[in-house]
Structure 1
Amino acid sequence: MNRTRVFSAATMLALAATITSVPVAAHAADRSGGFRVVDGRLVDATGKDFVLRGVNHAHTWYTGRTDRSLADIKALGANSVRVVLSTGTRWTKNDTADVAKVVAQCKANRLVCVLEAHDTTGYGEQGDAASLSEAVDYWLEVAGALEGQEKYVIVNLGNEPHGNAGHTAWTQDTKDAIGRLRAAGFDHTLMADAPNWGQDWSGTMRENAPAVFASDPDRNTVFSIHMYGVYDTAAEVEDYLGSFVDRGLPIVVGEFGYDHSDGNPDEDAIMSTARSLDLGYMGWSWSGNGGGVEYLDLATGFDATRLTAWGERLFKGPDGIRETSHEAGVYRRGCSVAYRLDDWGTGFNADVTIRNTGAQPVKGWKLDFGLPGGRTVNSAWNAAVTQDGGQIRATSRSWTEDIPVGGAVSFGVNVTGAGAVPASFDLDGVSCAKS
């Protein structure tokens, strides 16, 4: 295969090997309590493995579409989204306020935000491309939107930061970028894209990843390969990803498609290999592609009800997002319910206490439980209660809707019939422990 071609779906959207076998010790960067790398694995703030299952969204060109797009991406099963931002070098800058809004939208939709500076695409070949150093300047400028968000945000240093010309500079440039961000107090997990328009046909990232990882004082850098025409066989996909796993280095597929102008990537192999190796992937891209790569849209016209064949494949096909995605632990709700009876034989009062044992505050809730036949709820306090046969649903009132982490709220019901204890309780679809 000709390995000297220029490859980048992202650039077309916007503008129209020797393996080092030195083992690398991976240490947890736990100063922030956010994402970190442990033994070559990405771990979330709850200490659990987190495998990215998401898509890319071109926010910087479609800022008005982001709110709805993130909600749709989440509804289709994704646990993360890679958001295109601009430093202002090539496109309109996404300033601190805008970045903060994006992070808030990710959190509202329970998505992990991978934020990437896109202006670095093809540096060395695209005359107006930003350097990684300029990308760091941008991250420092918008730091106010990122501080304290380490549980929810991964900082992708720069998209495809070197083309084919001058790609050997990738190693030192990436080390320098990591060092500057750490010196400035960034505790986030950092993501480093490969050179060669993201596809690393030269093996530069593959060979030098151990040294780059070791240069991070937090040992909290993840590597990202973009898979398009270079990866058109299962053997190539398995060989590249396996080389990182074998050395205990964290790797994700930050972009890939089902077709491309530089060749036909093997998307089935990319997805199945990522699943078998338990690695993350993020498909390119939600909607709005132009410059001849419109076929890479996952949704037609940003409409989630009009998924393309590529969208159907990525979200709903074998090894796809819906089948393999798990929400980040920081977003998962945990709960326990105490149920206490005051029973007089022909009726009873039940006092119900919900405790938030999860990692996030609860605002607004629905508690579902069942009672045996013959019991009728007459009234309730501190919750609105509806009954459908033996199924009961209690919904929060304005004064009981907030349950802080570790906190609790109580409500009560008056019921006709002999006293009964529900077999189970579900809070917003999450099974609660009984206490």
Structure 2
Amino acid sequence: MKRTIGAAVLAAIASVLFFVAPAYAATGLHVSGTDIVEANGQKFVMRGVNHMHTWYAGQTGSFADIKAAGANTVRVVLSGGRWTANSASDVQNVIDLCKANKMICVLENHDTTGYGEDAAAYTLDQAVDYWIGLKSVLTGQEDYVVINIGNEPIGNTNPGQWTAATVAAIQKMRTNGFQHLLMVDAPNWGQDWQYTMRDNAQTVLNADTQKNTVLSIHMYAVFNTAASIVDYLDTFENNGWPLVIGEFGWRFDSSQVDHETLLAEAVKRDLGYLGWSWAGNTDPVLDMAIGFDPDNLSTWGERIFNGANGIKATAREASIFGGVQPSPSSPSPSPSVSTPPPSSGCTASYAVTGQWQGGFQGEVKVTAGSAAINGWTVTWTYANGQKVTNAWGADVTSSGSTVTARNAAWNGKLSAAATTSFGFLGSWTGSNAVPSVTCAAA
């Protein structure tokens, strides 16, 4: 009798343990609470950038460059036909490049961008069909690949349709045997300003039989204050919902995302973030590597890779690759190599990085001398009537033809021989000669 009771008790305990065990893919990246963890249980926090592979398929060297800059993750733009389709062999090569460079690969289908508002956009159901067509190269890659079902899948027209469409897409992925960690973007072009994803997050997460879906918010102009960022992230944290910041830009003017708060909050909360984007934007303000050149980072590139709470300071390689923290790369040589830096103070160099009729983009690099500095001021005088119309990475003012730029809060302190940069847009008529610049250290 006692043996029978004992066996019954053990069976009951085993039954309880069975049902409360976490449900996720037996191998690979998966959700645990609000965290993303690897198959061995090691927490993994995404620190990386987006790469527009579908439009720049020949820029395969970018994977190594992004890794060398410190990233542990790259989000790769793919298309199933809205643009030139990325074939199974091409996607296999992308995965191989990610693995060779020891980065987790987030693959996203860009065809869905703005559905309901953009007539060319695909449905989430069509995006799932694309992934099904790639299943032969995705199966077995669960340790290395996250599938972002569709980029910004609903525009601002009827964002409420997002919930049912996302639930159906997740279920179709699981019905077709995908075991991967899935990522789903918010509507409102990813920014969720009408809170459809926030208010329906639990419904979407419950739809995944694997309990292996992470939500993704894209932060741009909607999140231009610290309060808006903190409030949004608090809601997800307080409800125990897994979240990553799948795209964001930076504050090149006051209407844009408060990227300083975003980075600080992401680090404080162990939230993954993926900045937009490495290179190739129609609007070059958002390019991190000018012309895909890793030795010519823009102000945005310098900020996200080398600034406080940036990628280099906070990224940790996935344990499946060995879990090595990337070694800091050597500072890029100053363009003004003919002028050695002073024993103290700073030097600056001015460059036109893009020019069109009546307008141009410029960049100024500031380099400390042999001693650390706590701030800097750069000045120059235009000889041809040029004007600065917008700037980022510095406080820029003009008085007549003289321009004065003072460091931002995050890039004023430089160690000996360290370099930072700021950028700006300007106007010109007739000619656009490069002026001489001077730098004074605080």
| 1:164 equivalenced with 2:162 (yes/no) | no
Corresponding residue of 1:230? 222
Question: What whole-Å deviation, never above 9, does each CA across 1:244-274 have from its counterpart, x for those lacking one?
Answer: 1111110010000014799311000110000
Picking from 62, 68, 85, the partner of 1:69 is 62
Picking from 137, 144, 148, the partner of 1:152 is 144
Q: Contact 2:316/2:323 (CA < 8 Å) preserved in 1?
A: no
- Give the match's secondary structure for 2:223: coil
Picking from 203, 211, 218, the partner of 2:195 is 203
Q: Contact 1:42/1:49 (CA < 8 Å) preserved in 2?
A: yes
Displacement after TM superposition at 1:45 (Å): 2.0
Question: What whole-Å deviation, never above 9, does each CA across 1:158-189 have from its counterpart, x for those lacking one?
Answer: 00000000210000000000000001110000
Q: Contact 2:24/2:212 (CA < 8 Å) preserved in 1?
A: no
Q: Percent identity?
A: 52
- What is the root-mean-square deviation of aligned Cα atoms in Å? 1.7
Displacement after TM superposition at 1:288 (Å): 0.5
Picking from 163, 166, 169, the partner of 1:174 is 166
- Give the match's secondary structure for 2:297: coil
Corresponding residue of 2:304? 314
Supply the distance in 1 between the matched residues of 2:318 and 2:309 (Cα, whole angstroms): 18
| 1:252 equivalenced with 2:228 (yes/no) | no
Structure 2 gaps, min length 5: 1-18, 325-442
| 1:81 equivalenced with 2:71 (yes/no) | no
1:47-126 alignment to 2 at 5 Å?
A: 47-66=41-60, 68-88=61-81, 90-126=82-118
Identify if the C-alpha distance between structure 1 residues 261 and 317 changes in structure 2 by more than 3 Å, giving closer, same or farther. Answer: closer
Question: What whole-Å deviation, never above 9, does each CA across 1:126-148 have from its counterpart, x for those lacking one?
Answer: 10100000000000001111000
Q: Contact 1:59/1:85 (CA < 8 Å) preserved in 2?
A: yes
Corresponding residue of 1:243? 235
- Give the match's secondary structure for 1:63: coil
Q: Which amino acid aligns with 1:83?
A: V
Q: Which amino acid aligns with 2:123?
A: S
Q: Contact 1:87/1:135 (CA < 8 Å) preserved in 2?
A: yes
- Give the match's secondary structure for 1:275: helix
Corresponding residue of 1:134? 126
Give the TM-score taking structure 1 as reference length: 0.69
- Give the match's secondary structure for 1:83: strand
Give the TM-score taking structure 2 as reference length: 0.68
Identify if the C-alpha distance between structure 1 residues 170 and 78 changes in structure 2 by more than 3 Å, giving closer, same or farther. Answer: same
Structure 1 gaps, min length 5: 1-24, 335-435
Displacement after TM superposition at 1:286 (Å): 0.2
Displacement after TM superposition at 1:39 (Å): 1.4
Displacement after TM superposition at 1:329 (Å): 1.0
Deviates more, 1:224-233 or 1:26-35: 26-35
1:180-199 alignment to 2 at 5 Å?
A: 180-199=172-191
Supply the distance in 2 between the matched residues of 1:262 and 1:120 (Cα, whole angstroms): 29
- Give the match's secondary structure for 1:98: helix
Corresponding residue of 1:374? none
Q: Contact 1:27/1:38 (CA < 8 Å) preserved in 2?
A: no
| 1:325 equivalenced with 2:315 (yes/no) | yes
- Give the match's secondary structure for 1:64: coil
Displacement after TM superposition at 1:297 (Å): 0.2
Corresponding residue of 2:25? 31
Corresponding residue of 1:299? 289
Supply the distance in 2 between the matched residues of 1:72 and 1:60 (Cα, whole angstroms): 18
Q: Contact 1:26/1:219 (CA < 8 Å) preserved in 2?
A: no
- Give the match's secondary structure for 1:176: helix
Supply the distance in 2 between the matched residues of 1:333 and 1:250 (Cα, whole angstroms): 22
